[in-house]
C-alpha cells in the first residue's frame, strides 16, 4: 500500500492499516495490548517519524522538551536488558511447568519444557513481528504496480509474478525490517524461486557475546533464535505470505553469532 | 545547580548511546505482558512478576549507567542526599536509557520523591480494555484491568538499581496514563540506607 507523503493523509492511512491490523490480531486471539493508535501522544504523525532516518529523530527528541516529540528510539542497552529478562522469564517459567508435569522421567519433561519455551518465544516473536512489520511497511508499496500488468497474461506468468512479489517481500524483510531490529541487513539471501528462502546472518548481535565452543551457549543460542523465527513469521504473515520458518545455528567455534533462517512458503 | 548538570549529562549521554527502535521495545514488552496475562490468574501476581523482572534489570542497569558515563568522560557527582539521587535518576538515568526526561518532586520530609513521566516508551500503542472482566483460562476470578500496573517494570528497575547503591526503597506506581490519568507518577520511598555489604571477609587484616 502506497502512502502519500503529506502528514494528514498518512495519519489516515495509518489508522486504516492499524484497524486492519487490530482486526487480524483479534482473530489471532490476544486481547490486552492491541495495536491501536496511541491516544496519549499529542504529535500527529508517528507514522512519518517511523519512516524517517533514525539519526535526525534522536536529535529532535533531545533538543525540544517543550513540545511532545514521538518517541522513536530507546537505547540499545534498554532493549538488551528487556530481551534478557524475557528469555530468563520464559526459561524459568518453563522449568516451573516441567516440574508441575513431572509425571514421566526428567528427560522427557526437560524436552517438553524446552519445546514449550521455544513455542512461547516464537509466539511472542510472531506478535511483535506482525505489528512491527505493519508499522514499517506503511510507506512501502510492494509489487503492487507490477501485479496490475500481469493480470492479462497467462497462468505461467501469474505464478512468476507471485514468486516475484514474494521475493520483494522477503527482500524488504532482509533490508528494512532487519535493519530496524538488528541494525544491519541480512548477509546472504538464497532462494529457489519456488517458495523456499534461506536467510543467512553472519553476525547476529544478540548472539555476539556468547562464549565460543560451549554446549550451554549453544543451547541458549538455539533457544534465543526462536524469537527471531517468530519475528520473521509474523512479518511475512503481515505481508500476506503464510510461511513456516525454522532456524539453524551456524556457529563454527570461532564465530558464535552466525545463523540462518529457512523460510518455506505454504 | 545540580539539576542542570544532571540534565546536561543526560542529553550528552543519550546522544552517544547506540539506539534501538522504540516500537520494537514497546512491542516486545507488550507481548511479554500478554504472555504473563495468559499465564497468571490474578493481576497482583502479574504486577509482582513485572516488578521482579524490573528488579533484575535494575541491578544491572546501575552498572551500565556508571560504566557508560565514565566511558564517555562524564563524571556523575556524588549525591549528597536523596534529592540529588532523585535528580540524577530522573534527568540522567531515564534520559540515557529511554530518551525521555522526567520531573521530580521531593516529599516535604525528604524521604520520598515522586517521578513524573509524560511519555512512556513501554506503553506505545497500548490500550487497556475498558470492560472489567475477561474470560480467564482456568475460569477463576474475573480480572480488573484497572489494577494492572502495566509499566510496573519501572518500579522494579528503580528498586533494583537503588539497592545496588545502598538505598533500600519501595516504589509504587501511583498514576498511570493507561488508566486514564494525565501523567505517569511513581512514588519512591526511602526505607533504609544500607551498610556496605562486603562483610568481614574483605576487611583488611
ipTM for the complex?
0.86
CA distance B116 to A244: 45
Contact B17 A75 (CB under 8 A): yes
- Nearest beta carbon to residue B19 from set A39, A54, A90: A54
Residue B19, SS3 per DSSP? strand
Q: Where do we find the cell 476470578?
A: B141
Q: Which of B91, B92, B95, B93 is nearest to B104 (CA)?
A: B91
Q: Which residue has the higher pLDDT, A191 or A16?
A: A191
Confidence of residue A2 (pLDDT cuts 50, 70, 90): very low
CA distance B173 to B188: 9
What was the pLDDT predicted at A14? 40
Distances B189 to A260, B55, B164, B169, B173 between C-alpha atoms, Å: 48, 16, 16, 5, 12
What are the pLDDT digits (tens) for A30-85?
334 433 333 333 333 333 333 334 444 444 334 444 445 677 888 888 998 998 89
* B117, three cell numbers: 513521566
Q: Which residue has the higher pLDDT, A168 or B159?
A: B159
Instruction: Read off the pLDDT of each residue in B133-138 and give the average, rounded to a whole number.
Output: 51
Contact A68 B98 (CB under 8 A): no
Angle at B53 between CA B50 and CA B144, to 5 degrees: 5
Confidence of residue B30 (pLDDT cuts 50, 70, 90): very high
Cβ contacts (< 8 Å) between B124 and chain A: which residues? 38, 41, 71
HSE-up of B111 (CA within 13 Å, CB side)?
A: 9
Q: How far is A54 from chain B (nearest CA, A)?
A: 8
CA distance B115 to A9: 37
Contact B15 A124 (CB under 8 A): no
Q: A15 and A151 in contact (C-beta within 8 Å)?
A: no
3-state helix, strand, coil in chain A (%, to 5): 60, 10, 30
Residues 6+ apart with CB under 8 A from A252: A258
- Nearest beta carbon to residue A72 from set B18, B22, B33: B22
C-alpha radius of gyration, chain B, whole number = 18
Q: Give backbone dihedrals phi and psi of B201, rounded to 5 degrees, phi first.
A: -60, -30
Q: How far is A38 from chain B (nearest CA, A)?
A: 5
Q: Which of B103, B94, B91 is nearest to B121 (CA)?
A: B94
Amino acid at each position: 500500500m502506497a502512502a502519500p507523503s503529506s502528514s494528514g493523509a498518512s495519519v489516515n492511512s495509518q489508522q486504516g492499516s492499524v484497524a486492519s491490523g487490530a482486526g487480524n490480531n483479534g482473530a489471532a486471539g490476544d486481547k490486552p495490548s492491541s495495536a491501536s493508535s496511541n491516544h496519549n501522544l499529542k504529535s500527529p504523525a508517528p507514522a512519518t517519524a517511523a519512516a524517517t532516518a533514525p539519526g535526525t529523530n534522536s536529535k529532535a527528541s533531545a533538543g525540544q522538551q517543550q513540545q511532545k516529540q514521538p518517541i522513536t528510539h530507546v537505547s540499545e542497552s534498554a532493549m538488551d536488558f528487556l530481551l534478557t529478562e524475557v528469555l530468563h522469564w520464559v526459561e524459568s517459567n518453563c522449568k516451573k511447568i516441567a516440574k508441575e508435569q513431572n509425571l514421566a522421567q526428567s528427560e522427557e519433561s526437560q524436552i517438553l519444557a524446552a519445546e514449550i519455551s521455544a513455542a512461547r518465544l516464537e509466539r511472542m516473536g510472531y506478535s511483535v513481528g506482525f505489528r512491527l512489520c505493519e508499522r514499517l511497511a506503511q510507506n512501502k508499496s510492494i509489487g503492487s504496480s507490477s501485479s496490475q500488468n500481469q493480470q492479462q497474461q497467462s497462468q505461467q506468468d501469474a505464478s512468476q509474478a507471485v514468486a516475484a512479489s514474494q521475493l520483494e517481500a522477503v527482500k524488504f524483510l532482509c533490508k528494512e525490517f532487519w535493519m530496524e531490529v538488528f541494525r544491519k541487513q541480512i548477509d546472504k539471501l538464497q532462494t529457489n524461486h519456488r517458495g523456499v528462502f534461506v536467510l543467512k546472518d553472519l553476525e547476529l548481535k544478540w548472539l555476539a557475546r556468547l562464549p565460543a565452543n560451549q554446549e550451554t551457549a549453544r543451547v541458549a543460542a538455539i533457544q534465543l533464535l526462536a524469537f527471531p523465527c517468530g519475528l520473521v513469521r509474523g512479518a511475512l504473515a503481515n505481508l500476506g505470505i503464510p510461511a513456516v520458518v525454522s532456524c539453524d545455528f551456524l556457529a563454527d567455534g570461532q564465530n558464535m553469532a552466525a545463523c540462518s533462517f529457512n523460510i518455506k512458503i505454504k | 545547580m545540580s539539576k542542570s548538570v544532571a540534565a546536561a549529562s543526560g542529553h550528552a549521554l543519550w546522544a552517544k548511546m547506540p539506539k534501538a527502535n522504540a516500537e520494537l521495545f514497546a512491542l516486545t514488552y507488550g507481548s511479554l505482558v500478554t504472555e504473563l496475562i495468559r499465564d497468571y490468574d490474578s493481576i497482583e501476581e502479574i504486577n509482582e512478576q513485572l516488578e521482579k523482572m524490573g528488579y533484575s534489570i535494575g541491578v544491572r542497569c546501575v552498572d551500565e549507567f556508571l560504566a557508560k558515563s565514565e566511558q564517555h568522560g562524564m563524571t556523575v557527582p556524588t549525591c549528597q542526599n536523596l534529592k540529588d539521587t532523585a535528580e540524577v535518576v530522573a534527568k540522567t538515568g531515564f534520559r540515557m536509557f529511554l530518551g525521555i526526561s522526567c520531573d521530580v518532586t521531593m516529599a516535604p520530609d525528604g524521604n520520598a520523591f515522586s517521578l513524573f513521566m509524560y511519555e512512556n516508551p513501554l506503553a506505545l500503542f497500548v490500550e487497556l480494555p475498558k470492560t472489567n472482566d475477561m474470560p480467564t483460562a482456568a475460569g477463576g476470578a474475573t480480572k480488573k484491568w484497572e489494577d494492572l500496573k502495566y509499566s510496573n517494570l519501572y518500579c522494579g528497575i528503580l528498586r533494583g538499581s537503588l539497592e545496588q547503591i545502598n538505598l533500600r526503597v519501595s516504589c509504587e506506581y501511583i498514576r498511570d496514563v493507561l488508566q486514564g490519568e494525565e501523567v505517569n507518577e511513581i512514588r519512591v520511598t526511602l526505607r533504609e540506607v544500607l551498610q556496605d555489604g562486603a562483610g568481614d571477609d574483605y576487611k583488611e587484616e
